[in-house]
Structure 1
Amino acid sequence: YYIILYAPTWRDDGSIYEFPDFNKILETVRAKFNKEPILLLRSHHCQELKNDLSCNFSDVRTYPDMQELLLISDMLISDYSSSIWDFSLLAKPCFLYAPDLKHYEDIRGFYTPIRSWGFDVCQTSEELYDAIRGFVPGIYRENIEKMHRSFNSFENINSTSQLLSKLGIN
């Protein structure tokens, strides 16, 4: 199985998510990774899900621990959610599906340009399918590592023990 977590951020302006064609995503992932995909949807608990998604998915909005969902997922599709930063530490495929990019940027803005974050930024469903089809693990890992360096991220497998050592707590 190949677990895909779709977890967009909450729209505090009341706008509604524009979902991609999840059946096409499932088909694309099945072809690319040669595994049976499972779709988990984690919209914000205050955001309504459309009733007509016409695909098989598990609604995990009420699951209490987002970190556990990230750990079990093989791929994350999100937008501007902070979950992308946690997921990036796992170096698993993450794609940004942002059909409302201009609107969101006009309302909220970003600290740094979104296209410098190391993820494919897809504004249309077709761009998302193309990004999944064209995913290359080595190039993706390089982009994520470059982003971590540029953001001065010091996270690594030994971060906690290194911090405790510096604090004299071993």
Structure 2
Amino acid sequence: MNIKIFTRAIASILFRFFWIFPVKKNKIIFCSYSGKGISDNPKYIMEEIIKQDLEYDLVWIAKQNINYDNISNKVRYVKWKSIRSIYELATAKVWIDNSRKLKYIRKRKSQYYIQTWHGAIALKQIEKDAEDVLDKYYVESAKNDSRMADLLISNSKFCTNLYRNSFWYDGSILECGSPRNDILINDTEYFKLKICEYYKLDKNINIAMYAPTFRRNNNLDVYNLDYEKCISALKNKFGGEWVIIVRLHPSISEKAKNIKYTNNIINGSIYDDMQQLLAATDILITDYSSSMFDFMITKKPIILYATDMEEYKKDRNFYFNIEELPFKVASNNQEMENGICEFDNKVYINKLNQFISRLDINENGVASYKVVEVIKNFINNNTREIVDEKYSLIKGR
């Protein structure tokens, strides 16, 4: 028997076995990016729970031990795919995850599963819309995950419709914003100082972040941005001193060591929180990454450096015509330099506001609070119903 199939079968049996133990009312279990650490929407929901000083048993499933911002005494760590992690999942009252759970995982009727997802508004097609290019086991896991989920978190009508049409999901949706984006509205000055302190930068420095998405072939040749030319253009256009933080996608972050860094070109792939970097950023340069749709709520400039658009679309088609987005698009370094030098903020803001209105985006900086209100309601009342209509619950089945 294939070792993976055998391992999954044993894990499935263990899940059923641990159902002999009762579900613990105050236990919440978190996971992010299949155990890669504390990050994204689940992290900010956890922080809101800690902020409210709620008496919950907080458990994180991760591939390595967690020592995060001096709160390790408030969060328990269990290892990804361990027997202990199966026990914790089988006995937690609430699950919170931003990625698909593995196919062998099963939820009990008395448990509540909040699927926050990790992409919100997307440029490239995902899930059911890209089923023909996705791994078969992933698709089976995704369908199982959607069957288990009690609530999905949305930041827009676009996202809500995407869940309905493409996630094999007909359950409830909370259209409250993305918890990870709360800091892009509330705490940009704080995180600008934090990032400057972390990288030992002057607090008055201007930060451009280059954050491209991954390619299936892990090719770095498409990331040939001329950093020095960009910095020169940024100085000429906007004034002041500039640095560029280079943030590779987590799937290829190990390749960050292949990039040559200087005092003005900084390795952002080693930093553990993309959203904090976005909060500190003054201008975002990306290609097809959904980070553009998070960052745009700050109303700061975004320029797309997309050198391989036609090739990329062969792998995964787009939900939007990239030329119709409110962002400048450059296909080479000369166009990138021109895009910076010719940037017109008034035109940009006008196009951006129209785009945000078209997608009906709901980002008000209180998403984490609203999700925690849902959690408290379920734990205290043991009901999946949300009484207060202000939470914009869109009911499904």
Which TM bucket (shorter chain)? Answer: 0.7 to 0.9
Alignment CA distance shift 1:21-1:55 (3 Å): farther
Select the structure with the greater relative contact order (CA < 8 A; seq sep ≥ 6): 1
TM-aligned CA distance change 1:70 to 1:137, over 3 Å: same
SS in structure 2 at match of 1:23: helix
Cα distance, 1:105 vs structure 2: 1.2
Tell me which residue corresponds to 1:132.
340
**Corresponding residue to 1:6 among 203, 210, 220:** 210
Equivalent residue, structure 2, for 1:28: 233
Tell me if structure 1 keeps the 8 A contact 2:212–2:223: no
> C-alpha separation between the residues in 2 aligned to 1:7 and 1:131?
17
The CA deviation at 1:158 is 7.7
Q: Contact 1:9–1:78 (CA<8 Å) still a contact in 2?
A: yes
- Alpha carbons of structure 1 residues 14 and 161: separation in structure 2 relative to 1, 3 Å: closer
**Is the counterpart of residue 37 in structure 1 residue 242 in structure 2?**
yes
Instruction: For 2:324 and 2:244, locate their aligned partners in 1 and report how far apart those are by CA, in whole Å.
Output: 27
Per the TM alignment, residue 151 of structure 1 is displaced from its structure 2 partner at its CA by: 1.8
The residue that corresponds to 1:114 in the other structure is 322
Q: Distance in 2 between matches of 1:29 and 1:106?
A: 33
The C-alpha deviation readout for 1:63-110, integer Å capped at 9, x for no partner, is: 111111001010000001111001000010110000011111121110
Q: 2:281 aligns with which of 73, 87, 95?
A: 73
Instruction: Tell me: CA distance 1:167–1:153, structure 2 relative to 1, closer, same or farther (3 Å).
Output: closer
The 8 Å contact of residues 261 and 267 in structure 2, kept in 1 or not, is answered as: no
Q: Distance in 2 between matches of 1:165 and 1:136?
A: 40
Residue 38 (structure 1) shift: 1.0
Q: 1:129 Cα shift?
A: 0.7
Secondary structure of 2:285's partner? strand
| TM value normalised by structure 1 | 0.87
Q: Would you say the 8 A contact 2:330–2:336 is kept in 1?
A: yes
Select the structure of larger CA radius of gyration: 2
Q: Given the alignment of the two structures, is residue 105 of structure 1 paired with residue 313 of structure 2, yes or no?
A: yes
**Does the Cα contact within 8 Å between 1:116 and 1:147 map onto a contact in 2?**
no
Aligned residues of 1:23 and 1:55 also touching (Cα < 8 A): no
Where 1:95 maps in the other structure, the secondary structure is strand
Of 103-112 and 158-167, more deviation after overlay is shown by 158-167
Return the TM-score normalized by structure 2: 0.39
Percent identical across equivalent pairs? 30
Letter in 1 for 2:278: L
For these two proteins, the number of residue pairs brought into alignment is: 168
| Per-residue deviation, 1:161 | 8.9
Tell me the CA shift for residue 54 of structure 1: 7.2
Contact kept, 8 Å, 2:307 with 2:330, in 1: the verdict is: yes
* Separation in structure 2 between the aligned mates of residue 64 and residue 145 of structure 1, nearest angstrom: 31
Structure 2: gaps (5+ residues): 1-204, 372-387, 393-397
Question: Counterparts of 1:167 and 1:98 in 2: how far apart (Å)?
Answer: 38
* TM-fit CA distance, 1:117: 1.6
CA contact (8 A) 2:242 2:264 kept: no
Cα distance 1:162–1:54, how it changes in 2: closer, same or farther (>3 A)?
closer
Change (3 A) 1:145 1:104: same
Tell me which residue corresponds to 2:303: 95
Aligned with 1:154: secondary structure? coil
When the two chains are superposed, the root-mean-square deviation of aligned CA atoms in Å is 2.5
